[in-house]
Structure 1
Amino acid sequence: MRLVSDSPAVAHIEETWPEFARDPRHLRLGLASDGVSPYSIRSSTYSVWPVALMNYNIPPWLATKKGFILLALIVPGPKQTKNVDVFLQPLVEELSQLWAGVDDVFDNRTHRIGRDRRFVLKGILMWTMHNYPGFGAISGFQTKGYCACPTCAYMLPYGWSYELRKVVYLQYSTFLPLDHPFRGVGADKNLDEPPIPRTMEWWRARWDAIQTGNIQLDESRLRRWSILHELPYWKSLQIHHLLDPMHIEANVVKSLIKHLFGDKDNVRARRGCEEFNMHPESWMQVSDDGTETMPPAPWVLRKEERKTLCQRISKIRFPTGFGSYLRKAFTTDKASWPSDLKSHDFHILLQHVLPTCLHGLGTQELREAIYDLSRLMRWVCSKEINVLEVPRMDIFAAETLCKLEKTLPPSFFDSQIHLLVHLVREISICGPVHTRWMYWLERYMKVLKDDVRQRAKPEGSMAEGHLHREAMFFCSTILAQLDPGSPLLFREVEDGEEASFRLIGAGSKRSLSAMELDQIHVFILYNSELMEDWILRCEEDKRMASDEPFCYPSFVEQCFYVECSHDVDWSFVIPYIPRERQFVGSDSLAAT
């Protein structure tokens, strides 16, 4: 699977409503929302919640651009509302009308392939995608406290820690097959059945029981029944609300780094280990005079190891725009973790930096667990998914959490860590994550924040800026089709028509430099028909002279280097895919 259209969820929609799937112009939409502070002040508690729609009919490298994002509404601040259904009601009504069909829609591009220009446009909301607090706000499920996972519900293994004063989620061997060696042997073997994923029909039965008075609202783990169920097709979808891998990965790595650097190592964490009978070597020790001391924890790096880790990261030369801030964040003069990292920085840390920079640091069990966690997230974030690997990776996710459970304290295992178990399941239903995570919405929120001109009315400034930007985008596109001299040349040339373009403004003369002349010369040679045989011969040989000033993009691959810990003359080579090419498949990538 490479795209959302390859996923079983889309296949289920096409099988359930074949008349909807018959016309590819019908819209497939996804809804996303997240909170953002409209001001550039970290101490500000003011937050607004933009709700945006993604169009899956267009390619993913266009659907995530700001010109194609549909800003549906903005939930005003200053705090997150408790009942977001009030603001979603107009959107739900419009989505219901879109599902019924909008008559007399004009299409200017498909008449060449035999389709009518005027047709009835329909659309479907396939799913919603949020961070975990937004997941609970939109879906109506409880995402805090006991049974905070709507997928596992009451079958979720959890426990309340009186020392940590929070709910801890352990026993991840429950998600493994019954004959798996990680379940233990003899009397210590875990015989619990793996949790069955709860469907929307099961939750509907719980809500009906609340209405009849058989179950109390507090016991049902439901806050309300979402207004999205008023959509006529919502109950027939295969999946409804999706987890966000970006926020989950960022929260997991942030908690992991805090434990590695000792920020979470305190008396409560040690007593939590004793409470759950984990890591006896790290329990509090009482000396002869009655004072309690904390022995060295196996999951905390020593001060020299923390400095070594920061030194290795600070020496990495990342490609431009990839992870350059990490060099500044991890300085060698302090052995503490930086608190101002972004979501993409945590993504780079886990998948590219930590597996190599932790070489020789910490215990062997801790490094192996982090290696497996990095391998799991690299597979989750890959742009191409092999369907045959999904069952194996589902077991591998539970095995990775079991290894983390053997090396990290109970304070590490909150609800965000538990959600790693369900990422593979969602991939098997919805396809790759690169069109379902929140990076595109985070980038668009930066655009909305720049639109704020009046601090007293930030929501109005965002809405007005979006309308201006959308109007300019559509006007420039239409004018480009009418006037070939407009700035954006999106005009399609008819068959047999000669394209005539004119320059904008007054011209000026200047002499070209020697470098520009060489570039023009090389460009003409590479685009000349006389050079086609020579180019094909070079592509077949895949060999070029060492003194050639150029090479094909398919011959090279971007990478960066990490110094080896035991030999300064060697370095680890980490391959890197540029962000603008992350949606391109492997075959297309090799052909560029």
Structure 2
Amino acid sequence: MFTLRAAVMWTVNDFPAYAMVSGWSTKGYMACPVCKEDVTSGWHAEKVCYLGHRRWLPWDHEWREKDKEFDGNTERRLRPREWSGDEILEQLNRLDFAPFGKTVSRTRPSTHLNWTHKPMFFELPYWSKLKLRHNLDVMHVEKNVFDTLVGTILDIEGKTKDTIKARLDLERMGIRRGLWMNRDSDKARRDLAFFSMKPNDKKEFLKFVSSVKFPDGYASNIARCVNVDGGKFTGLKSHDCHVFMQRLLPVGIRHLLPEDVVKPIMLLSRFFSQLTAKTLRRTDMFQLRHDIVQVLCKFEMIFPPAFFTSMMHVMVHLPEEALLAGPVNYRWMYPIERLLGELKKSVRNRAKPEGSIIEAWVQYESLTFCGMYLKDVETVFNRPQRNNDGGMRNEKLSVFAQSARPFGDPGRGESFSRNDMEVAHWFVLNNCDEIMAYLDEHEQMMKREHPSHLVARKHRELFPQWFLDSVNKLKSSNSPTYSDELYNLAFGPIRAELFSGCNVNGAKFLGAARDDKLCTQNSGVHVPGGGESTDIDFYGKLTTVVQLLYKDRYQVIMFKCRWFDTNPNRAGSVKIDHGVLSVNINRTWYDDDPYILANMAPQIVYLDDPKAGNGWKVVQKMDHRNVYDIPELDPSDNDVDNVADQRLESSMENDAETLRDTNVIQEPFQIEGVSSVEIPIQSITIDLGDLPRYDVAV
């Protein structure tokens, strides 16, 4: 017997539920649950708005002295104070709340501020010691910020914050005369603001969005949500806004809005992109804490006060929460909303929704329990993923051990000549780590026997046969370095098969001819630079998947690609604008050497570049779900174990420091009347291989 204890770390909920679990109302003049009564708010355009973000600037910043550019006042106040859990608990204990239940409605006393009740979480002995008790939901914050921003710059009726009331509010405040109502005779007219797109520009932007394609499984078809004639978007979900904010908005607005408006929007897009990354660095979070203040202050100089809703304001607190709690992937509402959506689907009897959900959940838990004992039976928990690449192979040579699964008919007109096979095989030899010693030896031999300008050509022509002869010598001498795999590689491919697609690296790749007919884009490939002669990144499009077949059923999967010219020394090949990379797809290179190994190419997406014009594509690298780029140890280190130990010790020190910083109770608390029990345990073995996935639909 042993005592199992659990702790509630924090709560994850949307903004209305935040008020319920925290006890602080998220409405009214003090709606920010972090700033509390120290928030800067005011009545603008017949609603409460939240300004004053200059308070987070350094004390000597020049923007603090400006008045007309902001709300008409200079700013001398410091940033809002941070309340500790003990101070909040002490404040709550002094307040007298109405009893729970149906009572006579009464006005909340001013001494209660925005407190509505004392949360039950404070009954936990450690709750007041935590620095982060409730998470601001980044999913809904990003969605609402996107709706406000895009609705305003596109001047969408019902979505824009630049309304007649907002213009009249500017007149009342006596700031920004250029945005006041235009009064001709007896009529007042709201002219289009400088931060909103003109009708032709808006139509161009919507056409750009309607042409967008993303890889299979990455996002929904955002193009179908575009209403070009109506000048608006319909049916955008939270994840669509997430992708739009980080991927499409920075590309589409660069040439359609003034530079002073584009820069803060680009910075806001980068803010959300870095904040929602799988891995966070403390230095990046410190920079984001600075950047979001700059963005909000620039927005205060651009947009009317009605633009600043509570969701716009709480962005200033997101980097602080990331510093305390880490990546937002474990603290936002996406997995919760996904689970709730699956539970809603289980409702068959709409008159009894709770009972339907309970029955479905009992079935789910039963399947979960039984599935743990059915190792050889395919269940919903161990079913291969959507883009299954076949799993790991047991071959020793890296080129034979690829995890890739080709599929599909290549179509008519595809052929593979003997010369193509020689070119592909030469690439395989040059990218097999296990035979690098042979390549170096033969290259040195060619340097001794031939002039320098012929070395590369002779090395390529003579190495395959020389390598085969060398392996035959190893075989005849019974050398321990000989293996059948090495011989089959040296013998070369006996034939090739062509396919139109391939699953590799957790992604689905398709040839360009087939890919162009679909509403998804899976043909973009990217090979990072960093070789001995160049650090240029290579961008191209997959045309054909080639499977080289060797003796004894060994195989190598290769991609035949059309590579775009990215040589920075050639004008008109590459453009970088506001950090957005564009390539000219009308210029190609390496047409005589188009092959790469299938597992060498991360997937990328090409977007039309409306600023550069026809023939130019914006390059965007993709991060697929359940695919992680884990850094490897440097093979040059002699003592690998010591390096790992040092990293482990450093990680433990950082964890200990984090625990101290967050005031988490490190000593176990003793329950009165219950004596502690010590259990001697020699070893514990945990097998996680057969555990079911808990993100699977019911």
TM range (shorter): 0.5 to 0.7
Matching residue of 1:230: 123
Matching residue of 1:393: 288
Q: Distance in 1 between matches of 2:133 and 2:281?
A: 23
Q: Distance in 2 between matches of 1:144 and 1:280?
A: 31
In the superposition, the TM-score normalised over structure 2's length comes to: 0.57
Change (3 A) 1:423 1:590: farther
1:282 matches 2:214? no
- Contact 1:169–1:415 (CA<8 Å) still a contact in 2? yes
Change (3 A) 1:225 1:290: same
SS in 1 for 2:597: coil
- Contact 2:25–2:33 (CA<8 Å) still a contact in 1? yes
Q: CA deviation at 1:534?
A: 10
Matching residue of 1:204: 89
Matching residue of 2:25: 142
Change (3 A) 1:545 1:203: closer
- Contact 2:97–2:117 (CA<8 Å) still a contact in 1? no
Specify the code of the residue in structure 2 equivalent to 1:333.
D
1:339 matches 2:385? no
Change (3 A) 1:306 1:487: closer
Measured against aligned partners, the alpha-carbon deviations of 1:493-526 in whole angstroms (never above 9, x if no partner) come to: xxxxxxxxxxxxxxxxxxxx9989xxxxx9xx99
SS in 2 for 1:327: helix
Q: Distance in 2 between matches of 1:271 and 1:486?
A: 65
1:128 matches 2:174? no
Q: Distance in 1 between matches of 2:355 and 2:296?
A: 45
Matching residue of 1:371: 266
- Contact 1:309–1:358 (CA<8 Å) still a contact in 2? yes
* Greater Rg over alpha carbons, structure: 2
Whichever structure has more helix as a proportion of its residues is: 1
Q: CA deviation at 1:361?
A: 0.5
Measured against aligned partners, the alpha-carbon deviations of 1:148-185 in whole angstroms (never above 9, x if no partner) come to: 11211121111112xx2211111211111212233236
Specify the code of the residue in structure 1 equivalent to 2:274.
W
Of 228, 250, 253, the match for 2:143: 250
Specify the code of the residue in structure 1 equivalent to 2:145.
V
Change (3 A) 1:216 1:529: farther
Q: Distance in 2 between matches of 1:530 and 1:380?
A: 50
SS in 1 for 2:9: strand
Specify the code of the residue in structure 1 equivalent to 2:342.
V
1:311 matches 2:207? yes
SS in 1 for 2:293: helix
Specify the code of the residue in structure 1 equivalent to 2:75.
N
Q: Distance in 2 between matches of 1:322 and 1:572?
A: 18
Change (3 A) 1:299 1:453: same
Q: CA deviation at 1:392?
A: 2.6
Specify the code of the residue in structure 1 equivalent to 2:273.
R
Q: Distance in 2 between matches of 1:590 and 1:348?
A: 34
Matching residue of 1:444: 339
Matching residue of 1:87: none
Q: Distance in 2 between matches of 1:351 and 1:315?
A: 17
The structure showing larger relative contact order (alpha-carbon pairs under 8 Å, at least 6 residues apart) is 1
Q: Distance in 2 between matches of 1:407 and 1:590?
A: 49
Q: Distance in 1 between matches of 2:33 and 2:608?
A: 41
Q: Distance in 2 between matches of 1:454 and 1:585?
A: 45
Matching residue of 1:193: 78
Matching residue of 2:575: none
Q: Distance in 2 between matches of 1:461 and 1:489?
A: 22
Matching residue of 2:219: 323
Matching residue of 2:631: 587
Change (3 A) 1:276 1:462: farther
Change (3 A) 1:590 1:380: farther
Change (3 A) 1:586 1:299: farther
Higher deviation after alignment, 344-353 or 295-304: 295-304
Q: Distance in 2 between matches of 1:532 and 1:130?
A: 57
Specify the code of the residue in structure 1 equivalent to 2:193.
A
Of 51, 69, 81, the match for 1:170: 51
- Contact 1:127–1:240 (CA<8 Å) still a contact in 2? yes
Change (3 A) 1:212 1:246: closer
What runs of 5+ residues in structure 1 fail to find an aligned partner?
1-103, 105-118, 491-512, 517-521
Matching residue of 1:154: 37
Q: What is the correspondence of 1:448-459 to structure 2 with a 5 Å cutoff?
A: 448-459=343-354
- Contact 1:390–1:424 (CA<8 Å) still a contact in 2? yes
Q: Distance in 2 between matches of 1:446 and 1:180?
A: 47
Change (3 A) 1:514 1:352: closer
Change (3 A) 1:150 1:486: closer
Matching residue of 2:188: 292
Q: Distance in 1 between matches of 2:200 and 2:253?
A: 13
Q: Distance in 2 between matches of 1:239 and 1:223?
A: 20
Specify the code of the residue in structure 1 equivalent to 2:180.
W
RMSD: 3.7
SS in 2 for 1:125: coil
Higher deviation after alignment, 369-378 or 261-270: 261-270
Q: Distance in 2 between matches of 1:158 and 1:172?
A: 11
Change (3 A) 1:529 1:455: farther
Specify the code of the residue in structure 2 equivalent to 1:391.
F
Q: CA deviation at 1:120?
A: 3.3
Q: Distance in 2 between matches of 1:373 and 1:274?
A: 28
Measured against aligned partners, the alpha-carbon deviations of 1:249-305 in whole angstroms (never above 9, x if no partner) come to: 000001111112212243112112223444321111222x22212222122211111
Q: CA deviation at 1:545?
A: 8.9
Change (3 A) 1:476 1:424: same
SS in 2 for 1:459: helix
SS in 1 for 2:7: strand
Matching residue of 1:467: 362
Matching residue of 2:613: 567
Q: CA deviation at 1:217?
A: 6.4
Q: Distance in 1 between matches of 2:235 and 2:313?
A: 25
Change (3 A) 1:529 1:173: farther
Q: Distance in 1 between matches of 2:486 and 2:79?
A: 60
Q: Distance in 2 between matches of 1:125 and 1:174?
A: 33
Change (3 A) 1:586 1:298: farther
Specify the code of the residue in structure 2 equivalent to 1:320.
D
Specify the code of the residue in structure 2 equivalent to 1:170.
L
- Contact 1:152–1:197 (CA<8 Å) still a contact in 2? yes
Matching residue of 1:6: none
Q: What is the correspondence of 1:491-506 to structure 2 with a 5 Å cutoff?
A: none
Q: CA deviation at 1:216?
A: 3.1
What runs of 5+ residues in structure 2 fail to find an aligned partner?
99-107, 383-406, 411-427, 434-481, 490-526, 533-537, 539-557, 561-592, 636-698
Q: CA deviation at 1:311?
A: 0.6
Q: CA deviation at 1:580?
A: 2.8
- Contact 1:217–1:223 (CA<8 Å) still a contact in 2? no
Matching residue of 1:179: 60
Q: CA deviation at 1:588?
A: 6.9
- Contact 2:559–2:595 (CA<8 Å) still a contact in 1? no
Change (3 A) 1:410 1:468: same
Q: CA deviation at 1:578?
A: 1.3
SS in 2 for 1:571: strand
Q: Distance in 2 between matches of 1:553 and 1:398?
A: 42
Equivalenced residues, count: 435
Specify the code of the residue in structure 1 equivalent to 2:143.
A
- Contact 2:166–2:304 (CA<8 Å) still a contact in 1? yes
Change (3 A) 1:239 1:334: same
Q: Distance in 2 between matches of 1:301 and 1:139?
A: 40
Matching residue of 2:473: none
Measured against aligned partners, the alpha-carbon deviations of 1:105-155 in whole angstroms (never above 9, x if no partner) come to: xxxxxxxxxxxxxx4322111000111101111111110001111211121
- Contact 1:279–1:409 (CA<8 Å) still a contact in 2? no
Higher deviation after alignment, 203-212 or 542-551: 542-551
Q: Distance in 1 between matches of 2:242 and 2:26?
A: 24
Specify the code of the residue in structure 1 equivalent to 2:63.
F
